[in-house]
Amino acid sequence: SFRVRAGEKVAIVGATGGGKTSIISLLARFYDPQKGKILIDEIDIRNFRQKELRRYLGIVQQDVFLFSGTIEDNIKLGENKINFQQVKESASYVNADKFIKKLPHGYQEDVRERGSLLSVGQKQLLAFARALAFDPRILVLDEATSSVDTETEMLIQDASAKLLQHRTSIVIAHRLSTIKDVDRIIVIHKGRVKEVGTHQELLQKKGIYYRLYQLQYQAEKGKILLRKAS
């Protein structure tokens, strides 16, 4: 088990299949734990209704859910308390307005089911705007693994950093290079917490995190060499 303190930024890492995605599913209450419990301010999340939970907890997943409706509708998710000005401010803050303004109808542009006309990066930025509009006390961010162009990647990284500011944050990290500055890193292996510490502390331990970091570093180094060779 682990505890995340108020205002703390925590990253959860581990090999594929280690249990990272299950943590998101449990937090979002896609299903409830068979054993143990998850508490927010000492209250079991099973005692929250979904609408209440959304005010506490914002989750940005890799596979962004978009429905048939306008850009504005997809950011508000039917929450009438969020006005159009808040929608625009949220989109602007996380760089989503840069592509929204280029659409023929802007915020009233129709988003087809699952956002089929939007790129992976655009969907991700929309998800950030949605999360910010709801202003949750706790944010869970599942880093996207899909490759995007360099410019969009920079916008996403900037938006991600802004979104994590001044709130309790849990990042499900797939690229270890992006989490060096979080307060704590929790290493999950085969469904169990195996290591906890800062980036530097875990590297010094030379355990699971160290091996994962070395593997990713070598893979990135190989990609750079390939690009130079071509």
Q: What are the CA-CA distances from residue 136 to residues 25, 49, 91, 102, 154 (Å)?
A: 17, 15, 16, 28, 24
Q: Give the torsion sign (CA, 172, 178, 184, 185).
A: positive
- Which residue type sits at 78? G
Angle at 124 between CA 33 and CA 1, to 5 degrees: 25
Tokens of residue 93, six digits: 């803050």
> Domains of the chain, with CATH numbers?
9-229 (3.40.50.300)
pTM score, two decimals? Answer: 0.84
pLDDT tens, residue order, the chain (230 aa): 889 999 999 999 988 777 888 888 888 888 888 888 988 888 899 998 877 787 788 888 888 889 989 999 999 988 889 999 999 999 999 999 999 999 999 999 999 877 778 988 899 999 999 999 998 899 999 876 666 777 888 888 888 888 888 899 999 988 787 788 899 999 998 888 999 999 999 999 999 999 999 988 776 655 544 455 45
- Which residue type sits at 185? I
Q: What is the DSSP string of 165-228?
A: TTSEEEEE-S-GGG-TTSSEEEEEETTEEEEEE-HHHHHHHTSHHHHHHHHHHHHHHHHHHHHH
